[in-house]
Amino acid sequence: MSDAGQGAFERNDRKARSAMNTEETRIVRCGKCGAKNRIAASRPASEARCGKCKAPLKPADDGAVFTLRCTGCGAKNRVKSGRMESGAKCGRCGEGLDTEALFAPQPMMVTDVNFDEKVLKSPLPVLLYAMSPTCPGCAQVGPVIDRFAADARQKVRVAKLNVNASPRTADRLNVMGVPFLFIYDNGLVKESMPGVADINQLRIKMARYL
Q: Which CATH superfamily is domain 66-99 in?
A: Zn-finger domain of Sec23/24 (2.30.30.380)
- Superfamily of structural domain 104-207: Glutaredoxin (3.40.30.10)
pLDDT tens-digit readout, 47-62: 788 888 888 876 544 5
Residue 105: is it exposed, middle or buried by C-beta count within 10 angstroms (0-12/13-18/19+)? exposed
Q: Is 195 left (phi over 0), alpha (psi -120 to 50) or beta?
A: left
Gap between the Cα atoms of 28 and 153, Å rounded: 19
- Distance CA(125)–CA(166), nearest Å, equals 21
Under 8 Å CB-to-CB from 64, ≥6 apart: which residues? 31, 80, 81
Contact 178, 132 (CB under 8 A): yes
Residue 169: closest CA among 106, 102, 105, 116: 116
Instruction: Render each residue's pLDDT in the chain as its tens digit; 210 residues.
Output: 555 555 555 665 555 455 445 568 877 777 777 788 888 877 776 678 888 888 887 654 457 899 999 999 999 999 988 777 667 899 999 999 999 899 899 999 999 999 999 999 999 999 999 999 999 999 999 999 999 999 999 999 999 999 999 999 999 999 999 999 999 999 999 999 998 878 999 999 999 999
Q: Would you state the pLDDT for residue 81? A: 81
CB 194 within 8 A of CB 177: yes
Q: Which of 90, 190, 107, 180 is nearest to 145 (CA)?
A: 107
The domain limits of the chain are 23-60, 66-99, 104-207
